[in-house]
Amino acid sequence: MSSSISAQAPSYKVISPESSTDLNNFIDIITEAFASTALTTSFIVDNDKTPPPYPSPSIDVNRRQRHFAQGILDSAHSNAELVQAGDWSAIALWEPPSFQGKAFIDSKARPGVLLSEWRGRVKAAKSKHLAMHSNSSTDSESNSTSDSDNNEPQLRPFYHLSFLARNPSVPRVAGSINAVMLPFLQRAQAEHVPAWLEATTPQAVKVYEHFGFRVVEEIVIGKGRLDAQGWPSVDGKGEGVTAWAMIYDPHLKD
C-alpha cells in the first residue's frame, strides 16, 4: 500500500465506555481471537506459575478473559478509541497521541518475569524508533537535570494499535478491517505522526505490512524457558516467544 491512503472504507462505530454490554462483547471477541496467541499464554503461565501438563487445561477461556478484561476496561475509561465495524465483524483498540491512560502493556500492577521482560524490550524498541530527535547540544544540556533520574528519551506523538481482531464467531464482512484501520492511519498522516504496534504472529505481520507498516524490531522473550507456543520448555532449550515491533511512517519520509 502506498503512503497515500485513498481506499474508501466503510464507517466504523465507536464503542462507548459507558456500555458494559459492548465492552463485554469487545473483551469476548479479543479473548476468542487471541485464544492461541503464544505471548498471551506465556504471560498467564508465568503469572499463575501454571504446573504441567502443557498445554494446561487450567488456561481456559475464563482465565484468558480475565487476562484481557481489566486492561481493556482501563483503556476504554481513559481516552483510548475502541471501535467496531461490520456489525462486530472486526474490532480495534487505538491509543491516539492524546492518550493519557495506561497502555494495555502496562495495565498489570505486579508483572511477572516474562511480562517485565516484554515491557523492557518494547520500551527499548520505542525509545529507538519513536524518540524525539534533538538537534542541539544546548537542548541536551538544558534537559540534563530533569532527565537525570530516568535518562529516557522523549517519544514523538504516535498512534498505538493495541488490538486488532476479526470476530471468529461471525461471518467476515468485506471492508470491516479496513474500516477500523484506514481512518486512523489517515489521521496519522494528517497529523504528521507515526503509528506503532506489536504483532504477535507472522500472519499478523503480513496483514499490517499490507497497510504500510514495516518491521523495525524482532522481539524474543523467554528464550530457553519457553517453547514457541508460550509453554514452559521441558529441556531448557526453548526458542522463546517471538513478536514484531512495527511502525507506520511512509508519510514521514522524504
| Predicted pLDDT of residue 163 | 98
Q: Residue 26: pLDDT band by 50, 70, 90 thresholds?
A: very high
CA 154, CA 68: separation in Å to the nearest integer?
Answer: 28
Q: Which residue has the cell 530457553?
A: 224
Domain ranges of the chain: 13-129+156-252
The per-residue pLDDT for range 44-82, each reduced to its tens digit, is 999 999 999 999 999 999 999 999 999 999 999 999 999
Q: Residue 198: pLDDT band by 50, 70, 90 thresholds?
A: very high
Q: Is the domain defined by 13-129+156-252 classed in CATH 3.40.630.30?
A: yes
Grid coordinates of 250? 511512509
Grid coordinates of 34? 487471541
Q: Residue 254: pLDDT band by 50, 70, 90 thresholds?
A: low
Residue 241 has pLDDT above 60, yes or no: yes
- Residue 139: CB partners within 8 Å, gap ≥ 6? none
| Predicted pLDDT of residue 8 | 53
What does the buried/exposed string (b/e) look like for 206-235 if buried means 16 or more CB atoms within 10 Å of the residue's CB?
A: eebeebbbeebbebebbeebbbeebbbbee
Q: Which residue has the cell 480495534?
A: 92
Contact 48, 58 (CB under 8 A): yes
Task: Quote the distance between the C-alpha of residue 87 and its chain's center.
Answer: 23
CA 138, CA 135: separation in Å to the nearest integer?
Answer: 9
Residues 25-36 have a mean pLDDT of 98
